Structure 1
Amino acid sequence: MEWPLFILLLAGAFALVVLVGKRFPRWAKRGLALALLATIAAALAWNADTHRRTRASAEFAKSVPREGRPGGYVSSDKCQACHPGEYASWHRSFHRTMTQYASPVSIQANFDSVELELHGESYRLQRRGDEFWVELPDPDWGREVRNPLTASAATKPPPVWKRLGLLTGSHHMQVFWVPGRHGNTQHVFPFVWLLADRRWAPLHDTFLRDPKLPPTLHVWNLNCLRCHSTGPQPRPEPGAGNFDTRTGELGIACEACHGPAEDHVRVNQNPLHRVMLRLGAKAESTIINPARLTAARSSQVCGQCHGIKWIRNQPAFLRDGFSFRPGLDLDQSTPIIRPSRLEQQPWLHGPLKAQANFLAEHYWSDGEVRVSGREFNGLVDSACHEKGGLGCVTCHSMHNSDPDDQLARDMDGNLACLQCHAQYRDKLTEHSHHAAGSTGSLCYNCHMPHTVYGLMKSIRTHKIASPTVQSSLQTGRPNACNLCHLDQTLAWTATYLHEWYRQALPQLTDEHQSTAASVLWALKGDAGQRALIAWHMGWEPAKLASGDAWLAPYLAQLLADPYSTVRYISHRSLRRLPDFTEFPYDFVAAEADREQARLRALNLWTAQERTARRGNQLLIAPDGTLRRETFERLLSQRDDHSMDLQE
């Protein structure tokens, strides 16, 4: 409508000049003519810009997975009018921002003419108005160069400019995606923005992955959409390798937990129906409220994303998406992979033989999950769930919680456990053998320790169990006692667990009797164990229980670790020690620079006051110096088997 109005105004202005032209001097008529020409030029420029923006918007919409699909999905916008409070609490959650279109509102990263480099390739980042652009090696080249019809003489991908399509994450880091040339395929951009550090980092360096392994070429449409969007349908184009992906909604929205809402919206437009519901004369049957389901079924609503699933019908999933809907039995369509019960899942035996590393990439050797985002796997293997009826919403709330962890009110302490285990309310010290109110008497710390890895940190396991030394010996998984008492041996822990809880005393080597468990895990452990220990060396409860004057040599050593995420975590923990708060270090710097940082940290510790250091089990001599010979001997035994934890 604006363009015809401009034409009308211009015509009126021209008529005015013609009608009254004789009354004005020549200079005035020239001025009016120039004004008219300027107005016409501005109108033409405005029209061209409008067309450009319209065309750009249409091209962008074509290049990204679209919201809206069949199956009764209507989007969260339809929920807001009747449920404003729930909509508001969801809107400020990290579930909502799990996947977003790239825009000034969603992007927190620096795009102000940034230049990055990776493996000899240059990357340029720009913001152009409300659009975000990157120059990178052509992500489509790898596929097209193998096609004889499109192959070129080029030996490496040429640089191309791409407008960002999607981004995932808004809590710890943001990962960015660029559209391919065909369909709405989304290729990963090989750098991520670390929110706490406010810096760019190579994507592959933010995962606990063997640096010798080749980079993984992620495509959002095939994997990430499963848990980062609502009602996704991948829809690959047969034989083309492209996608025509659509979703109910990007991010985790209302219908992910409550089911498709088309019927619910339709019937509740009738005022009489709403009145009958309020009076209790009718039961609501058009929508699912997980809080009203059994613990098993309501937890499966969370488990559809927070679990490691087996997709029974892969072609149907690729075409139509998951068939599971809230309220149904998740096991019927996408059962949870439970290594501790593989005899009950015979369909997995063949695939697990074909993917020999699958279990090691996700689980400890006893089947307990060890990677983040898979809390449902831990829950279903817990007696509290199987026998006690514990479910996700027993402790968590989607609409009455802090977005950081979504724990319900008062569920961040012992009340979470005392709501079932009331017998310990007045016997907490007697049961825990730690002072009431201390971190040692916090149920979570003993029964849900931080033994899960992900997002460059340790996370609480959701397999609720009691600590044992035997499980640490059998699986390598650190136990809760030694994750807090970093300065103690496995023998020390075994003695107290025997005295307090009558656990059998396990057979221990001389090393387990003489050297702190954390020292052994930090120097001899695998990359996953080293990451967990590095995190706990920066955990305040552990430092209070164990002292921190002896930690620096171990964290210094881990600054030179071959795994980038171990290095990152170690530096973060090191900076939480006195005299190291401003210690400069780049976890993705060249190997020589990392080695220099290790020596600087060690020398700084050596020059510190030694009286607070203690313990042969910590490899600290009576004079406060490091027993370097033993330190180096243990380090030479480090478990360097290749790891790739699939968080």
Structure 2
Amino acid sequence: MAQSIPRYLNQQVALLSLKLAAFAALLFLALTAQAKGEQPAAPKYVGSQTCGSCHADAVTDWKGSHHALAWTKPSDDTVVGAFDGRTFLHQGNTTRFLNENGQYVIDTEDARGGRQRFEVVGVAGIEPLQQYIIETAPGRMLSFDVVWDVEGIRWIHLYPDQDLSPDDGLHWSGPYKNWNARCAECHATGFEKNFNPKTDLYQSRQVETGVGCEACHGPGQAHVSWAETDQQLDLTEWPGVNNVGLVINLHPSDTAETELRGFLAGTQQRISRLSDTEVEIQQCAGCHSRREPFEDGNPLPGTPFHDAYRLSNLRDGLYHSDGQIEDEVYVYGSFLQSKMYANGVTCTNCHNPHTAELKLEGNALCGQCHSPAGNPDFPTLSLKDYDDPTHTFHVQGSTGGECRNCHMIERTYMGVDGRRDHSFRIPRPDLSLQTQSPNACNDCHTDRTPRWAADTIAEWYPNSPKRGAHFSQVFSAGRTDLRGQSEALIGLAEYDQLPAIVRATALDMLLPLANPAMAMRLEPLLSSPEPLIRVAAISIQRGAPETERSARIVGLLDDPAKAVRIAAARGFLGMQIAYMPDRMNQNLNTAMGEWQKSLSAKADFPEAQLVLAGIGLTTRRMDVALSAFGEAVEMDPQLTQAWIMMVRIHSALGDRQSAIETVNAALDKNPEDVQLNLLRADIGG
């Protein structure tokens, strides 16, 4: 086996990519190009209290909302959990919750080094559960896994079946429960993470704790100036704002007299125009989505989603094969699949953005549009009474007669938190028979089979056109037989009547099979109007010869969406390019710089360290790869593949002693891992 290590390493190098010299040279280039003074400063934040001086009704609605209480400081007014000395036992570890003269304390045996006491420094949420934030080192905040169940009036563990030691990356003290890195951005206004990888310390800050007015409407300094003077704004003083002094148009009355420009991600020549509904949806999606962030904290409100994040597609483990929610994915990915989204429905058609509650209760909410009266904003709707047994086949007012229970299945996360799927799908138990995806019928009728449900619906709707072919049939089969479904997946990617997220998912699934013929056939998708599709289509071009790949994707280095520009930069990884025109070379450098900056912002993510390790492997800078893999396993010791790569690198370099020490350290953290044990036997450690 030792003889195969160099060949194995070369295979890994071929899969990963980037010339480290070029990347390192760009380490400071992007920062230098965006130095202070080159871009106009955004208006300053003024705080929700200032907003309330004019917008009293909105602020009254907002106070007490889930947004306002997303993150608060601990006090008698905000803490609802029983910090009265009671104890909670989980997997042999006892935790006590105390109130010591107004200071809330968590005393737990489930901590690194044994029993420790932590002061509660923050409170997250208000219902159906409340979490407590503790500080394990100056500035480093963690979200504790024992939470207060508001409805059950009890302490519960978020993951009751997990028995994790403090050395496990998934433990509450590990990198994935880090409040600074993983949570705070969506629980605060104007948040900056400010992690220093050299000192491993955080100096995080926010302009307002909790999701305040300016988290959605943007910093209000220019708006206040406009309101106080009641005169047209001087855009030389406030470049980039609209006619009422805001950096985002969330309402048609705020129509900008000039394009948003200047300080939006420093890309004024590339900013896309978005419809009013799309601006609103993308602003909400920044937090209500499963995604990879590009920035160090909150992007400036109004920044297009694809300039700040890369959305997770419908991959296995996050979504069922038919696109239904499986893991905690936070709405946006499912909403993009819906006909409602395709027809211009936006978040505030159903939700009051200030109270964060539904506008109407029960079927009345859906009846705003789905009724005999219809809604003039959506003229294509069929005018009929849907809230009737002739449609629901359930008694009116019953659980089965509720629109949401058939068209918005509910899944429970964090123990007690029910979340609704926003793809608004028609129940398809017939697909459950083929794909094993769940269906709304059997969510209620747990004592019956999908066959029974499918037959019943066929009886109710014998000639329905809604039971035709579905992308889930291809996705489900492709998850077990990718090669056998390649042609069908290509067909899905090419079919422009499907939602963009479905087509992008098909492209993602095809990536392991990418070859010159596939790259050529799917080249037109590089020009798709959808950023999701352009990002995924770039990856497929890895199957093309270098000269063709570079020619096809070079134009995307200056794409309007940062997610696409970064994907294009990655597409150039490892290419041997003798010459590029100055403009193209400048675009490549800029896109590489954006990618570098996004990785720097995630230096506290094990995932980002794995990418950096891949960069080292690609360029055969094994010192860089070893360092990054080492950082990754320091954060998450259960990343066994990172340990294995470190051992293989040491072996390939002829450093048997370091290989033995590394595999022993890996087994100390993962003693039962089969691959690590086989590797130690192979190298004789």
After TM superposition, the score normalised by the length of structure 1 is 0.53
Instruction: Show the counterpart of 2:222.
Output: 263
CA gap 1:197/1:331 in 2 versus in 1, 3 angstroms: same
Match of 1:175 among 96, 119, 131: 131
Work out whether 1:239 is the aligned partner of 2:198. Answer: yes
Instruction: Show the counterpart of 1:417.
Output: 370
Q: Deviation per CA, 1:164-208, whole angstroms, max 9, x where unpaired? A: 1112121111211222333x1113334211111222223432xx8
CA gap 1:193/1:458 in 2 versus in 1, 3 angstroms: closer
- Paired residues for 1:186-197 under 5 Å: 186-197=141-152
Q: State the distance in 1 between where 2:127 and 2:370 align.
A: 27
Match of 1:75 among 25, 28, 47: 47
Instruction: Show the counterpart of 2:63.
Output: 91
What is the deviation of 1:453?
Answer: 4.7
Aligned amino acid, residue 305 of structure 2: L
Instruction: Note if contact 2:159-2:415 (Cα within 8 Å) is conserved in structure 1.
Output: no
Instruction: Report how many aligned residue pairs link the two structures.
Output: 384
Q: Give the SS at the match of 1:187.
A: strand
Q: Give the SS at the match of 2:146.
A: strand
State the structure with more CA Rg.
Answer: 1
CA gap 1:74/1:371 in 2 versus in 1, 3 angstroms: farther
Q: State the distance in 1 between where 2:163 and 2:191 align.
A: 31
Instruction: Note if contact 1:165-1:179 (Cα within 8 Å) is conserved in structure 2.
Output: yes
CA gap 1:505/1:104 in 2 versus in 1, 3 angstroms: closer
Work out whether 1:379 is the aligned partner of 2:335. Answer: yes
What is the deviation of 1:271?
Answer: 4.8
CA gap 1:165/1:438 in 2 versus in 1, 3 angstroms: closer
Match of 2:72 among 100, 107, 120: 100
Q: State the distance in 2 between where 1:70 and 1:170 align.
A: 32
CA gap 1:427/1:77 in 2 versus in 1, 3 angstroms: closer
Q: Give the SS at the match of 2:365.
A: coil
Aligned amino acid, residue 149 of structure 2: L
Q: State the distance in 2 between where 1:87 and 1:441 align.
A: 35
Q: Deviation per CA, 1:457-512, whole angstroms, max 9, x where unpaired? A: 543210112111233234433222233344433233222333415359999xxxxx
CA gap 1:504/1:406 in 2 versus in 1, 3 angstroms: closer
Instruction: Show the counterpart of 1:335.
Output: 310
What is the deviation of 1:88?
Answer: 0.8
Q: State the distance in 2 between where 1:481 and 1:322 align.
A: 40
Match of 2:299 among 318, 323, 338: 323
Q: State the distance in 1 between where 2:132 and 2:386 align.
A: 51
What is the deviation of 1:404?
Answer: 5.3
Aligned amino acid, residue 422 of structure 2: H
Instruction: Show the counterpart of 1:470.
Output: 430
CA gap 1:383/1:192 in 2 versus in 1, 3 angstroms: same
CA gap 1:70/1:181 in 2 versus in 1, 3 angstroms: farther
Q: State the distance in 2 between where 1:118 and 1:442 align.
A: 38
Match of 1:365 among 315, 318, 321: 321
Q: State the distance in 2 between where 1:82 and 1:505 align.
A: 50
Match of 1:302 among 265, 284, 289: 284
Unaligned runs of 5+ in 1: 1-68, 143-156, 275-281, 340-358, 508-647
- Paired residues for 1:207-286 under 5 Å: 215-217=171-173, 218-271=177-230, 283-286=243-246
What is the deviation of 1:291?
Answer: 4.2
Work out whether 1:134 is the aligned partner of 2:116. Answer: no
CA gap 1:266/1:381 in 2 versus in 1, 3 angstroms: same
Q: CA RMSD in A?
A: 3.5
Instruction: Note if contact 2:128-2:416 (Cα within 8 Å) is conserved in structure 1.
Output: no
Q: State the distance in 2 between where 1:167 and 1:467 align.
A: 38
Q: State the distance in 1 between where 2:92 and 2:451 align.
A: 50
Q: State the distance in 2 between where 1:243 and 1:493 align.
A: 53
Match of 1:490 among 436, 450, 454: 450
Q: State the distance in 1 between where 2:162 and 2:369 align.
A: 35
Q: Deviation per CA, 1:535-566, whole angstroms, max 9, x where unpaired? A: xxxxxxxxxxxxxxxxxxxxxxxxxxxxxxxx
Match of 1:502 among 463, 476, 488: 463
Instruction: Note if contact 1:338-1:367 (Cα within 8 Å) is conserved in structure 2.
Output: no
Q: State the distance in 1 between where 2:102 and 2:232 align.
A: 44
Q: Deviation per CA, 1:385-439, whole angstroms, max 9, x where unpaired? A: 11x111111111123x6x5556589853533533343522389554444555555
Unaligned runs of 5+ in 2: 1-40, 234-241, 253-274, 469-685
Instruction: Note if contact 2:407-2:425 (Cα within 8 Å) is conserved in structure 1.
Output: yes
What is the deviation of 1:259?
Answer: 1.3
What is the deviation of 1:263?
Answer: 1.4
Q: State the distance in 2 between where 1:397 and 1:250 align.
A: 21
Instruction: Note if contact 2:190-2:208 (Cα within 8 Å) is conserved in structure 1.
Output: yes
Match of 1:394 among 349, 359, 366: 349
Q: Relative contact order (C-alpha < 8 Å, sep 6+): which is higher? A: 2
Instruction: Show the counterpart of 1:594.
Output: none
Q: Give the SS at the match of 1:127.
A: strand
Instruction: Note if contact 1:135-1:162 (Cα within 8 Å) is conserved in structure 2.
Output: yes
Q: State the distance in 2 between where 1:506 and 1:94 align.
A: 39
Q: State the distance in 2 between where 1:210 and 1:181 align.
A: 24
Aligned amino acid, residue 341 of structure 2: H
What is the deviation of 1:109?
Answer: 1.4
What is the deviation of 1:125?
Answer: 3.3
Q: State the distance in 2 between where 1:429 and 1:298 align.
A: 35
What is the deviation of 1:85?
Answer: 0.8
Aligned amino acid, residue 213 of structure 2: C
Instruction: Note if contact 2:149-2:416 (Cα within 8 Å) is conserved in structure 1.
Output: no
Q: Identity rate of aligned residues, in percent?
A: 24
After TM superposition, the score normalised by the length of structure 2 is 0.50
- Paired residues for 1:563-642 under 5 Å: none
What is the deviation of 1:304?
Answer: 0.8
Q: State the distance in 1 between where 2:359 and 2:70 align.
A: 15
Q: State the distance in 2 between where 1:415 and 1:181 align.
A: 51
Instruction: Note if contact 2:125-2:131 (Cα within 8 Å) is conserved in structure 1.
Output: yes
What is the deviation of 1:161?
Answer: 3.5
